Structure 1
Amino acid sequence: MLFSISLVSAQQGRGQGKISGRVVDSNTGQSIDHASIGLLNQDNKEINGTTSNEKGEFSMDHIASGTYKVAVFYAGYKNKTTADVQLGDNNAVVTLGDIQLINGETAIEGVTIVGKKSVVENKVDKIVFNAANDVTSQNGAAIDVLRKVPQVTVDADGNVELQGNANIRFLINGKPSSIFGNSLADALASIPANQIKSIEVVSSPGAKYDAQGTGGIINIVLKDNKVRGINGSVNATGGTLFETGSLNLNYKNNNFSMNAFFSGNAQLKAKTPFSQDRTSRDAASNTSTHLLQDGYTDFERHGYRTGLGFDWNLTKTSSLSGSLSFNSFSNKSTGLINQQQYITDHTTSDVTSIIGSRTSDNQSSVRSVDGSLSFRKTFAKEGQELTADYVFSYGSPKTSYLQTQSLLGAAGPYNGISGSNPGTDNSHNISVDYVHPLNDNVTFEMGLKTVQQHITNATDVHVLNTSSGQYETDPLQSYHLNYDMGVYAAYFSSKLNLLNWLDVRAGLRYEYTTLKIDFPNTNIPSYGLLVPSFILSHKFDSGETVKLSYTRRLERPEYTELNPFLNFSDPHNITTGNPALKPEIGDNMELGYTKNLANGGNISLSLVERINSQDLKQITTFYPTFTANGTEYTNVSVTARDNIGKEYNSGGIVSLSFPFFQNKLNLRSNIMVFHRYIVSHIYVGNLDMGMRYRANLNLNYQFPKNFVLEVFGNYNSAAKNIQGKNPQSITYTIAGRKEFWNKKASLGFTITNPFNKYIKQVTTVSTGDYESYSVRELPYRSFGISFSYKFGKMDFKKEKDISNEYLNGPGSGG
């Protein structure tokens, strides 16, 4: 693959100053090469950076006049920040001489990383999981990293929940993308873990954030590199179940930086055994039907992503950044199911049997082009800032199926149906934000935003003509759908400190949503919603923080939930969308306590209450006879989402992170316990959903000679749903990584569930006239190896919050 990168050099705002020096070991006096050097302004923000050469020497030039600090970081040594360095017309060149770094550990072999940011940072408004600092997070995909993130639950199928709520707003580098609307599991499986710098979990978003997502926001921050020059990395993973590969290139001069990437992934074809035992009753005809299904599906997934991004400092006070990416994901599932159906007439005691088989072929894909352009302007007053952003996404999702049913011993099928469901999902986001600090204790922020989304859908259904053996168009089941949504939002928020003790972040957002759909007999009214939010917090000198937060959120139904496309891949178990869905509204409250330890560990405790109105739930309805646009089907269950009432979700969360033996051994654990209660006037009435549990444990040990071994285990309890019960899952992984070639290369391995080929998933559904017991054995055992190589100038620091990293501070609590 070739990248053609046009590099632009910006000359505005360049000074004539120069700072140079040498990095050495304080004990031996030997030079330290590849140390990371950061130039910090008076706000402790990085404005330039480089690395030391083979002699430990470094130099940064074209620096404007002013006062700066130089921060130095190298793995295994304590970070160091110099005193103020003054550059001016009479002092344009400064030589710092030797900067001595203190070795963080006296050891003959290997080093221990000291002073780096914690893997988990508990901040007032979010939790940051620094995947780049978690050695074995570099294998797999984004979905694997999410399993380690506090307050996040991922089941064996890749379904994600935040504090027990699956309605999450996913972002990439703070930007929305249509790739998440069609298949979240495919999208998360397509982002290689080694491209992720951090994952930010925002369970109580402020007024600046879009109100979408009652569960909260998960922002996936991809890696970048701010060192001048050209650098990059190559990563590859091969295994029995998953394969990934990626290439990253970075370029930076004084005012301009650019990056390019390509990544591909594959989930190899694997067999998933399946069985269902279902009993249904029809009171009108006094009959019951017993359906037995037994068979398998073969599932596989493929995808790739590629793109470019740039940052351009136009002047000292203005910058422009942008990105453009192309994404392509697809999955395919083929299966053979043996069917036995027994219909009992309880009036006559007659039993009719239908024995045969069903074949299926399901395919789903999405391609999208995502782009963004952002302008940032700062002013003379510290903290005053104006930003304008434009984000667009053009997606092309498509779903298709083909299924046939045959009687035992028959020469050909007696029934067949195929459906194709191509569409488009295009969106445009325009926003303007302004920050104005009144003084050191009070800051105001305000902004405007609009989101315009246009969805088209074309459904073509063909039915088998058993006489001719040909599939013919069924005009009654084929249709076209257009869906338009407009969101118009404004917000105002403030940050202030009361009595030099209480930090207050409060805001109010208003969103007005217009909806239009041309599906017959469907009209969705426009609506407006006020979204208040606040966070009250106090940080103690001992490193402890206490906070109380509240936010209102809403969940607008996604494309796949609204699309009334009937998926007949299993004609006895039909899935569809509901274009009449209303948005779910969530009121989320959290009382939290965090303590950041001096050795880099932390403790976090939270009590959470989430109340969802117009709660969206998946509902299965049984029909003895189901008519779809003139075609009649018998013994059918139809599954779709609906607004069922209110859900109360109450619980507690404990997150722990402790280093031992001078950071050689690190332990992290997350435990969540939630109780759910539903108040509904339809389907089930009031219902106690019981308790749900989730726990994981992560242990890693740093051996000599740059070898790390990790063990990770995760448990999700079974959970009662509105009509039955979802399965539990237990997964465990052993992983290791060895760095070599001066830490430029690494070789790793991953072993997942080595003693169990399948995860057995039992799902039950029970209504007044319908009971189902399904068993699915999900292939999960896998073995894999990975290789990573970095080239060019390397850097280990983060662009933002760099002052905390260089000042040897523990994870920030604020």
Structure 2
Amino acid sequence: MNKNFLLVVFTLLLSFTALAQKPADKKIKISGKVFEKGTNLPVEYAPVSFQNVTTKQLFGAMTDGTGSFSFEIAPGEYTGAIDVELISYKKVTIPQKAYMADTVIGPFYLEADIAQLQDVVVIAEKSTVEIKLDKRVYNVGKDMMVKGGTVSDVLDNVPSVTVDAEGTVALRGNENVKILIDGKPSGLAGINVADALKLLPADAVEKVEVITNPSARYDAEGGGGIINIVIRKGKSNGVNGSIIVSAGDPESYGVSTSLNKKGTDFNLFSNIGYNYRNSPGNSLTDAEYFNSDGTTSRFINERRTNKRFSEGYNANFGIDLNLSKSLTWTNAITFRENNGKNPDNVFFYNFDALNNPTFVRNRLNDSKSDEFSIEYSTNFTKKFKKDGHQLTVDVAVSQNRENESSTIYDEIVGDASSLFTETTVNNQKQQRNLFQTDYVLPIGKDGRFEAGYRGSFQKNLTEFEILPTSLYSNTLEYNENVNALYAQYGSKINKFSYFLGMRFEDSNIDVNSITANDYNNKKYNNFFPSATINYEVSDKSSVSLSYSKRINRPRGRFLNPFSSYSSNINIFQGNPDINPSLTDAIDIGYLNKWDKLTFSTSAYINLTNDTFQFIRKESGLFVDGVPVIISTPINLAKEYRAGFEFNLNYTPYKWWRLNGNFNLYRNETQGDYTYTDYLGNEINQNFDNIALSWTSRISSKVTLPYKIDWQTNATYNAPQTTAQGKILGNASVNLAFSKDVLKDKGTIALNVSDLFNSRKRLMETNIENVVSSYSEMQMRKRQITLSFTYRFNKQKNEREKQQKREDNGEGDFVGQP
């Protein structure tokens, strides 16, 4: 029985009795708190009800995350009860009493009903998606779609989030997203975030938080918002854990385990996993090349297949030490290792201007890679006497190494003498140190002051080399030091609540192309204000208005002049002189809860200066007469992004739950780009562009006979124009079934990712008097996975008896429902 269902049942009971009520001339307030007996932890979603002895009318409320409740009644005689037997607590009866003025009752301590715990099958199951006013929380544990998958699969199932064929993550269509792990930029994400997300197992993730307009407490990075990945961490008493084994087609298999032991003064936790995956993909590009006068010079059809093999290990070990009743010290060490191979085989079918075949060129890029990441983190949390008053200190140190090498064989098919062999080496190292402290001080009844410091210091070194030629070889050094201070204050006045904050960040960045003897230092500092105002229309609906300023710093492949050589006629090239972009984000939101439906919607506007755009241009080099086209990011003047989004959680029946998301957005780019081509001509390109697009996702979960769960996810991304072409529409469907076995200690799950094998990136590109092309890219074919989960010393839906932790801004705004 999930929390939403409890809320619906309780609300329905109150609603039916309230229909017969007449408004009283005077109302008084009843309030109090509910805790769990033995642990003294707050109990949330506990229904507290009062019945008028004379009129038999019902009044009441649900407890919030702190165990608090409050509601209004007319003066009179009442009996009360706290009845949460559906989640296995003994009923508490409140004796009859006359209430004539505002009264604080309790506190109440609920005792677990042991006999009932043995019989209950479903206990406080969380909904897959929880909608809150300032964020959406996606609970991974209840989603069958990602069993045996990766974190990238997890994100691709989160409302408002999309992951394209290349692994790029976007939030509401905006790729300028900051990805955090446990509220912090983690060293586990390594040098290439998209690749790391494809390697980390989904089973290690507890939930994903989507924050579209973060407060000043958060890092200002990410113009499109923040995605926070929360790693699973057991908190149940005693020894408990689970093990998951999976196998799939194309060939993949894995095993992961979570082990925890909690005592009076400590909590040991660990996550260990192994996985092997084969993710075959393919792409095609049909291109027509033009002469300078616009006439056709030739056609080239490119067909590519790749087989991505990866074998990885990951482990996390940690301990929480309760040094005193108010002081907790947490230490954790995490490492990840992955070895991969990717034979990338490309055939170039060449045709003349009349489309007659001329020759076929084959290019095989046989690449290998090995990665290793290690991170140590420590956290001190000091809680003071007043509830919510605390100080936290975090330190994290990480190192990453990613070495990639490849041998490239290039020849004209049928002409052995044309064989040409090259070797590429791409070695990357990263070191990151993070220091952070946060202080929270409650002021008065509803006020809260927060302040903190964050220092992030990282060094990156990339060595890219091609043998026997050194044309594209380069060594790039990237050093980034960012010091930040923030302060914010929030409070509540009647039905209004607000949060006002200011963040200051000082940035010192070196981008040094050592091979080219090109050294760039960028020093800048910025203020990042944020503000949120909420109004509680009723106890079930709220309206919010928020503003924040964000920054997006270029990193990795965006800066490296030469980082890819899989094709010798289409080359990606970074831009070491690219500048960060700044975004002003405004969001107006509305949230309403009915008995069976939760609805949230928002209208948003993002104004970005110096936004990143990818342009394609001729390099001046030719391969067999074919011009080499360079793709590179540049800063354009302005980007205006506006959109409308809504999310639905609907439970029409106890056995059927629906989640839906729709996002319509308009993106306008204004800017010109001027460069000098290889002939010395100055070329001016106008990148003014207006793109209107939308995405939608619906998820349905049905409980079939014999307690078989069936889940279906369907996604559609509408077409979108770009400055130099168009991204075409794309639809995909995921499917999953699961069944609990072994008295609910085990679960068998079967999931199919991309049921119709349709998840592809379809693009049209046009460069006037140079090339016109159509391309399709499929990063991974349809995947079928069978998994088995076994839990020991805990039931499938055992209620985690833990107090909500306040880490890195995860708490809700003051006064929010």
TM-score, normalising length from structure 2? 0.80
Match in the other structure for 2:260: 250
Assess, with a 3 A threshold, how the Cα gap between structure 1 residues 610 and 330 changes in structure 2: closer, same or farther.
Answer: farther
Q: In the TM superposition, what is the alpha-carbon distance from 1:660 to its structure 2 partner?
A: 2.3
Match in the other structure for 2:746: 745
| 8 A Cα contact 1:401 1:567, kept in partner | no
Provide the rounded CA distance (Å) in 2 between the counterparts of 1:145 and 1:485: 30
Provide the rounded CA distance (Å) in 1 between the counterparts of 2:82 and 2:36: 6
AA matched with 1:788? T
Match in the other structure for 1:764: 764
- How many residues are matched? 712
Match in the other structure for 1:514: 508
| 8 A Cα contact 2:92 2:110, kept in partner | no
Q: Which has the higher contact order (CA 8 A, sep 6+)?
A: 1
Q: In the TM superposition, what is the alpha-carbon distance from 1:542 to its structure 2 partner?
A: 3.4
| 8 A Cα contact 1:38 1:71, kept in partner | no
Residue 113 (structure 2) pairs with residue 122 (structure 1): no
SS at match of 1:564: coil
Residue 275 (structure 2) pairs with residue 265 (structure 1): yes
1:681 aligns with one of 663, 667, 672: 672
Match in the other structure for 1:668: 659
Provide the rounded CA distance (Å) in 1 between the counterparts of 2:323 and 2:82: 25
| 8 A Cα contact 1:556 1:584, kept in partner | yes
Q: In the TM superposition, what is the alpha-carbon distance from 1:672 to its structure 2 partner?
A: 0.9
Assess, with a 3 A threshold, how the Cα gap between structure 1 residues 753 and 625 changes in structure 2: closer, same or farther.
Answer: closer
Assess, with a 3 A threshold, how the Cα gap between structure 1 residues 298 and 134 changes in structure 2: closer, same or farther.
Answer: closer
Assess, with a 3 A threshold, how the Cα gap between structure 1 residues 295 and 423 changes in structure 2: closer, same or farther.
Answer: closer
For residues 133-160 of structure 1, give each alpha carbon's deviation from its aligned partner in whole angstroms, at most 9, with x where no partner exists: 3455545222222233222122344322
Residue 172 (structure 2) pairs with residue 163 (structure 1): yes
Q: In the TM superposition, what is the alpha-carbon distance from 1:391 to its structure 2 partner?
A: 1.3
Match in the other structure for 2:458: 453
Give structure 2 stretches of 5+ with no counterpart: 1-34, 46-66, 70-80, 95-107, 674-683, 807-814
| 8 A Cα contact 1:370 1:392, kept in partner | yes
Match in the other structure for 1:143: 152
| 8 A Cα contact 1:121 1:813, kept in partner | no
For residues 18-39 of structure 1, give each alpha carbon's deviation from its aligned partner in whole angstroms, at most 9, with x where no partner exists: xxxxxxxxxxxxxxxxxx9775
Q: In the TM superposition, what is the alpha-carbon distance from 1:100 to its structure 2 partner?
A: 8.6
AA matched with 1:131? V
Give structure 1 stretches of 5+ with no counterpart: 1-35, 47-66, 85-93, 104-109, 464-473, 804-811
Assess, with a 3 A threshold, how the Cα gap between structure 1 residues 567 and 149 changes in structure 2: closer, same or farther.
Answer: closer
For residues 257-298 of structure 1, give each alpha carbon's deviation from its aligned partner in whole angstroms, at most 9, with x where no partner exists: 0111212233315252534324143469x9944333234333
Provide the rounded CA distance (Å) in 1 between the counterparts of 2:786 and 2:686: 51
Residue 559 (structure 2) pairs with residue 562 (structure 1): yes
Residue 611 (structure 2) pairs with residue 611 (structure 1): no
Assess, with a 3 A threshold, how the Cα gap between structure 1 residues 282 and 404 changes in structure 2: closer, same or farther.
Answer: farther
SS at match of 2:234: coil
| 8 A Cα contact 1:595 1:813, kept in partner | no
Deviates more, 1:358-367 or 1:573-582: 358-367
Provide the rounded CA distance (Å) in 2 between the counterparts of 1:312 and 1:82: 34
Deviates more, 1:202-211 or 1:351-360: 351-360
Assess, with a 3 A threshold, how the Cα gap between structure 1 residues 779 and 142 changes in structure 2: closer, same or farther.
Answer: closer
Provide the rounded CA distance (Å) in 1 between the counterparts of 2:311 and 2:583: 35
AA matched with 2:503? R
For residues 789-810 of structure 1, give each alpha carbon's deviation from its aligned partner in whole angstroms, at most 9, with x where no partner exists: 011245332634499xxxxxxx
AA matched with 2:670? V
AA matched with 1:161? A
Q: In the TM superposition, what is the alpha-carbon distance from 1:615 to its structure 2 partner?
A: 0.4
For residues 724-748 of structure 1, give each alpha carbon's deviation from its aligned partner in whole angstroms, at most 9, with x where no partner exists: 1224322112211111222111111
Assess, with a 3 A threshold, how the Cα gap between structure 1 residues 330 and 669 changes in structure 2: closer, same or farther.
Answer: farther
Provide the rounded CA distance (Å) in 2 between the counterparts of 1:782 and 1:234: 22
AA matched with 1:302? E
Assess, with a 3 A threshold, how the Cα gap between structure 1 residues 414 and 193 changes in structure 2: closer, same or farther.
Answer: closer
Q: How is 1:720-799 mapped onto 2 (pairs within 5 angstroms)?
A: 720-754=721-755, 756-757=756-757, 759-768=759-768, 769-777=770-778, 779-794=780-795, 795-797=798-800, 799=802
| 8 A Cα contact 1:495 1:503, kept in partner | yes
For residues 322-371 of structure 1, give each alpha carbon's deviation from its aligned partner in whole angstroms, at most 9, with x where no partner exists: 21111123543223333244577xxxx99995543222223444321122
2:412 aligns with one of 407, 423, 448: 407
For residues 286-320 of structure 1, give each alpha carbon's deviation from its aligned partner in whole angstroms, at most 9, with x where no partner exists: 99443332343333333331110211111111111
Provide the rounded CA distance (Å) in 1 between the counterparts of 2:274 and 2:635: 38
Assess, with a 3 A threshold, how the Cα gap between structure 1 residues 256 and 713 changes in structure 2: closer, same or farther.
Answer: same
Provide the rounded CA distance (Å) in 2 between the counterparts of 1:72 and 1:322: 39
AA matched with 1:507? G
AA matched with 1:293? E
| 8 A Cα contact 1:758 1:779, kept in partner | no
Provide the rounded CA distance (Å) in 1 between the counterparts of 2:625 and 2:396: 45
Q: How is 1:3-22 mapped onto 2 (pairs within 5 angstroms)?
A: none
| 8 A Cα contact 1:330 1:365, kept in partner | yes
Q: In the TM superposition, what is the alpha-carbon distance from 1:385 to its structure 2 partner?
A: 1.1
For residues 370-396 of structure 1, give each alpha carbon's deviation from its aligned partner in whole angstroms, at most 9, with x where no partner exists: 221111111122222111110122011
Match in the other structure for 1:417: 422
Assess, with a 3 A threshold, how the Cα gap between structure 1 residues 243 and 687 changes in structure 2: closer, same or farther.
Answer: farther
TM-score, normalising length from structure 1? 0.80
Provide the rounded CA distance (Å) in 1 between the counterparts of 2:264 and 2:554: 45
Q: In the TM superposition, what is the alpha-carbon distance from 1:95 to its structure 2 partner?
A: 12
Provide the rounded CA distance (Å) in 1 between the counterparts of 2:110 and 2:281: 63
Assess, with a 3 A threshold, how the Cα gap between structure 1 residues 765 and 458 changes in structure 2: closer, same or farther.
Answer: same
| 8 A Cα contact 2:440 2:451, kept in partner | yes
Residue 351 (structure 2) pairs with residue 329 (structure 1): no
Match in the other structure for 1:32: none
Assess, with a 3 A threshold, how the Cα gap between structure 1 residues 699 and 287 changes in structure 2: closer, same or farther.
Answer: closer
Residue 305 (structure 2) pairs with residue 296 (structure 1): yes
SS at match of 2:154: helix
1:641 aligns with one of 633, 637, 648: 633
Assess, with a 3 A threshold, how the Cα gap between structure 1 residues 73 and 801 changes in structure 2: closer, same or farther.
Answer: farther
Provide the rounded CA distance (Å) in 1 between the counterparts of 2:476 and 2:527: 30
Provide the rounded CA distance (Å) in 2 between the counterparts of 1:637 and 1:356: 17
Q: In the TM superposition, what is the alpha-carbon distance from 1:98 to its structure 2 partner?
A: 8.0
Assess, with a 3 A threshold, how the Cα gap between structure 1 residues 779 and 511 changes in structure 2: closer, same or farther.
Answer: closer
AA matched with 1:439? G
For residues 438-469 of structure 1, give each alpha carbon's deviation from its aligned partner in whole angstroms, at most 9, with x where no partner exists: 21122211111111111112223202xxxxxx
Residue 431 (structure 2) pairs with residue 426 (structure 1): yes
Assess, with a 3 A threshold, how the Cα gap between structure 1 residues 170 and 113 changes in structure 2: closer, same or farther.
Answer: same
Q: In the TM superposition, what is the alpha-carbon distance from 1:219 to its structure 2 partner?
A: 1.1
1:529 aligns with one of 510, 526, 531: 526
| 8 A Cα contact 1:186 1:330, kept in partner | no
Match in the other structure for 1:501: 495
| 8 A Cα contact 2:727 2:762, kept in partner | yes
Q: In the TM superposition, what is the alpha-carbon distance from 1:165 to its structure 2 partner?
A: 1.0
Assess, with a 3 A threshold, how the Cα gap between structure 1 residues 354 and 122 changes in structure 2: closer, same or farther.
Answer: same
Match in the other structure for 1:659: 651
| 8 A Cα contact 1:421 1:565, kept in partner | no
For residues 181-200 of structure 1, give each alpha carbon's deviation from its aligned partner in whole angstroms, at most 9, with x where no partner exists: 53333322233333322111
Q: How is 1:42-121 mapped onto 2 (pairs within 5 angstroms)?
A: 77=87, 99=113, 113=122, 115-121=124-130
Provide the rounded CA distance (Å) in 2 between the counterparts of 1:669 and 1:319: 40
SS at match of 2:642: strand
| 8 A Cα contact 2:165 2:777, kept in partner | no
| 8 A Cα contact 2:190 2:196, kept in partner | no
Match in the other structure for 1:576: 573
Q: In the TM superposition, what is the alpha-carbon distance from 1:503 to its structure 2 partner?
A: 0.5
Provide the rounded CA distance (Å) in 1 between the counterparts of 2:719 and 2:355: 39
Residue 362 (structure 2) pairs with residue 362 (structure 1): no
Identity of aligned pairs, percent? Answer: 25
2:587 aligns with one of 585, 590, 597: 590
Provide the rounded CA distance (Å) in 1 between the counterparts of 2:336 and 2:413: 44
SS at match of 2:566: coil
Q: In the TM superposition, what is the alpha-carbon distance from 1:249 to its structure 2 partner?
A: 0.7
SS at match of 2:608: strand
